[in-house]
Structure 1
Amino acid sequence: MVIYGHPRYSRGWEDDGPEDTRSSSNEQQRPSEGEQSPSDEGKVAEKEEESEDPGTTGPNENANKDGEKQGGGPPTPVGFWDHRLAHVRKEAMTKWTITTVGLMAFILAILSLYFGALLNVEKNLSSLVVYVVDMDGQSPPYDATGHAPLVGPIIADLARTMVASGTPTLGWGVLPGSAFNNDPIQVRQAVFNFDAWAAIVINPNATAMLYSAIQNVNASYDPLGACQLTYIDSRDDTNWYDFISPIVSAFMTEATTRVGEQWTQMVMQNATTDASLVRNAAKVPQALSPAIGFSQFNLRPFYPYQVIPSVSIGLIYLIILSFFSFSFYLPIHFKACSQNLQRHVTAADLNHSTSNPMVIRL
């Protein structure tokens, strides 16, 4: 560019000053029609991305934008039931439902095992054998008193009636006193040897002592001397207290009632011809009511009480810990694999894993 008539601009465009240089550089940097600058290209790309994916802006981003509009600080907290947290609530409830349903199914499956194990308990009660040994008037001198046995036959008939009733009950086994040589100690030995869960013994002098109390006014008569119950609750305290003891207690109550009714009726009938029986009975009332009782002998009580955890919750942990066999996978055992036959190593591991819980449970 040449400007004539002025000495400053008499030179050609090559000698233009800084202003012309800047203007020329701006003209060179200015894009031509149809072209875009790099900054314009970036803005266009950002707009295209926003227009192509309008759904990526979620509630949290909206909240952030709101916070930025308010002053550029953190987003404003909102309540749990805010509409912008709908997707969070949905995800939380879904996971909670899956977890709860899974736990319910697992617990139901485990409890079903116990339900199945106890499903036929009533039908299997007959496998719990309880002896009823009738020694009443079976050995001298009580076999020659001149009075027919009363207590023993009534209780034995009651046991037979319960077995024949068809209702779930214990395995009552009625045995004569001769099976144990009319010795109550031998009956206790049978219970101690786990031949039966319990035994009810009608003592040889059961009926004879009743007659003696009324006829001879024996004020020291003790109804508990007529019969005895022998058992071992420590054999299995759950079986005894949950299944056996309730039925045995009901049996003894019914036996006492039946003997008392028949014995009182017999005394009153004889009193019509012998008025002294009524006076004697008034002096020995326990000979009429309850007439008989049951002495109870627990051969092996569940004692001391500190052993309760070993058969309850402590037993669970004992079983779990006793099967820890990680020590059998130490390097020394793998070293043996290269020197011995594999089947020998396997047999040794099985032996160790089996003997470990057995020794711990001792």
Structure 2
Amino acid sequence: MLPYWGALASSAKLVGNLDALFIDRDGSRIGQGLTQAVQKYSAPGPNLNWRFIKATNLSDDSDIIRMVLQEQIWVAVVIQPNATFRLATARMNGDHTYDPSTAIKVYYSQARNEIATGNYVVPITTQVLQATTSAYATSTAQRVFAQINSNGQPNSTALQMIANAPQTISPAISWTMVNLRPYQAPAAQAVTLVGNIFLCIFAFMITMANSTARAIVSPHMAFMPYLALRLIVPLLAYFPLSLSYALINLAFDLPINTNRFGQGAGFMIFWVYVYLGMAALGLSIEAMITILTPRFTPFFLFTLILYNVSPVVLPDELQPAIYTYGSGFPIWNL
């Protein structure tokens, strides 16, 4: 059980492995001020690994969205183009339609891992933006009111414009969270973790049943037919089991469709992956029963489940480096 405990123990200390992008598309007072503030920001507790990218390196937000969806980064904070100009214009004209949340967009994918995004990525990003934007709003408000009273007499026109659009002073700038892949299917938790344990147990039951049945005929078989029996029977048995496992997810409206292949092909791809995973787990048990015999194979089942599940309870970035072994195991790939 120690590997499972160890997989969870160090997550808070390893939050710095979660990559976050900060991109300034404004290039003016807001963009430059927030970039410097985030670079200097330091708070007790975990912090993300912030990387500051020049806007010229990414043509538009579609490139950033693609990076998030392809799991190259966990979150991206983008200062929108002309944020400073739009704020200044809204103040000058008293534009009551000005929306402070249009100044910054935050892109992330909750469904990549709801634990990492919910416990670390979103709260830490929100904390950073809250602190830096509040400090910016305070300093810019002081500057605006100093200009209004520069001659000792308040500029009534400027005050009227601020009264028309008070949001240009407080909060002045804010942000919009863009969740590119919401986690809207709680049933997926059953499929991605506990369900894979069920697959392993199903494969174990097939192996034990096959072992008992073939013990009757194996003394009368040559080696090659006997070997074929051990391989073909489990692989055939995995077909209906994996299909039933895939079908039960439809009953709970699990979204297994893909943008590229659609609902039907998405289901078939899902079924194939389940079958391949079950074959990998089941044939490993089939191999070990030769060495351990049916009496001791259940001990191997426990080990197989433990070392398959431990690397997947959290993202790789939040686990010690030793858990990268999981990339070579079936459940990690499932």
TM-score of the pair, normalised by structure 2:
0.61
Matched residue, 1:331? 214
Partners of 2:67 and 2:102 in 1: CA distance: 21
Partners of 1:290 and 1:214 in 2: CA distance: 13
Match of 2:201 among 320, 323, 339: 320
Matched residue, 1:152? 31
Matched residue, 1:119? 9
Partners of 2:6 and 2:100 in 1: CA distance: 44
Counterparts of residues 170-209 of structure 1 (less than 5 Å): 170-181=48-59, 183-209=60-86
Partners of 1:289 and 1:307 in 2: CA distance: 41
Q: Conserved in 2, the CA contact under 8 Å of 1:154 and 1:258?
A: no
Higher RCO, Cα 8 Å, sep 6+: 2
Unaligned runs of 5+ in 1: 1-109, 138-148
Residues 178/336 of structure 1: CA separation in 2 closer, same or farther (3 Å cut): farther
Matched residue, 2:296? none
Q: C-alpha displacement at 1:117, in angstroms?
A: 2.3
> Are residue 357 (structure 1) and residue 278 (structure 2) matched?
yes
Counterparts of residues 236-275 of structure 1 (less than 5 Å): 236-273=113-150, 275=155
Partners of 1:303 and 1:336 in 2: CA distance: 55
Letter matched to residue 100 of structure 2: P
Q: Conserved in 1, the CA contact under 8 Å of 2:101 and 2:174?
A: yes
Greater percentage in helix: 2
Partners of 2:221 and 2:133 in 1: CA distance: 71
SS state of the match for residue 219, structure 1? coil
> Are residue 295 (structure 1) and residue 176 (structure 2) matched?
yes
Total equivalences in the alignment = 238
Partners of 1:172 and 1:336 in 2: CA distance: 67
Letter matched to residue 48 of structure 2: L
Q: Percent identity?
A: 23
Q: C-alpha displacement at 1:116, in angstroms?
A: 2.5
SS state of the match for residue 188, structure 1? helix
Q: C-alpha displacement at 1:318, in angstroms?
A: 4.0
Partners of 1:117 and 1:199 in 2: CA distance: 27
SS state of the match for residue 136, structure 1? coil
Q: Conserved in 2, the CA contact under 8 Å of 1:231 and 1:299?
A: yes
SS state of the match for residue 305, structure 1? coil
Quote the RMSD (CA, aligned, Å): 3.4
Counterparts of residues 1-362 of structure 1 (less than 5 Å): 110=1, 112-137=2-27, 149-162=28-41, 168-181=46-59, 183-273=60-150, 275=155, 276-311=157-192, 313-324=194-205, 325-326=207-208, 328-329=210-211, 330-331=213-214, 334=218, 338-340=222-224, 348=231, 355=276, 357=278
Letter matched to residue 357 of structure 1: M
Q: C-alpha displacement at 1:158, in angstroms?
A: 2.8
Letter matched to residue 47 of structure 2: T
SS state of the match for residue 200, structure 1? strand
Residues 278/296 of structure 1: CA separation in 2 closer, same or farther (3 Å cut): same
Say which one has the larger Rg.
Answer: 1
SS state of the match for residue 242, structure 1? helix
Partners of 1:346 and 1:331 in 2: CA distance: 8
Q: C-alpha displacement at 1:157, in angstroms?
A: 1.9
Residues 119/305 of structure 1: CA separation in 2 closer, same or farther (3 Å cut): closer
Q: C-alpha displacement at 1:118, in angstroms?
A: 3.0
Letter matched to residue 326 of structure 1: M
Q: Conserved in 2, the CA contact under 8 Å of 1:198 and 1:229?
A: yes
Residues 322/173 of structure 1: CA separation in 2 closer, same or farther (3 Å cut): farther
Partners of 2:79 and 2:186 in 1: CA distance: 32
Q: C-alpha displacement at 1:237, in angstroms?
A: 0.6
Q: C-alpha displacement at 1:195, in angstroms?
A: 1.0
Q: Conserved in 1, the CA contact under 8 Å of 2:22 and 2:76?
A: yes
Report Cα offsets for 1:27-50 as digits up to 9, x if no partner: xxxxxxxxxxxxxxxxxxxxxxxx
Report Cα offsets for 1:178-232 as digits up to 9, x if no partner: 1112x12221111111110111110012111110111122111001110011111
SS state of the match for residue 173, structure 1? strand
Partners of 1:263 and 1:313 in 2: CA distance: 52
Partners of 1:199 and 1:336 in 2: CA distance: 65
Report Cα offsets for 1:142-197 as digits up to 9, x if no partner: xxxxxxx122122222332247x79631111111111112x122211111111101
SS state of the match for residue 13, structure 2? coil
Partners of 1:358 and 1:175 in 2: CA distance: 44
Partners of 2:86 and 2:49 in 1: CA distance: 30
Q: Conserved in 1, the CA contact under 8 Å of 2:41 and 2:128?
A: no
Partners of 1:222 and 1:336 in 2: CA distance: 81
Q: Conserved in 1, the CA contact under 8 Å of 2:94 and 2:160?
A: no
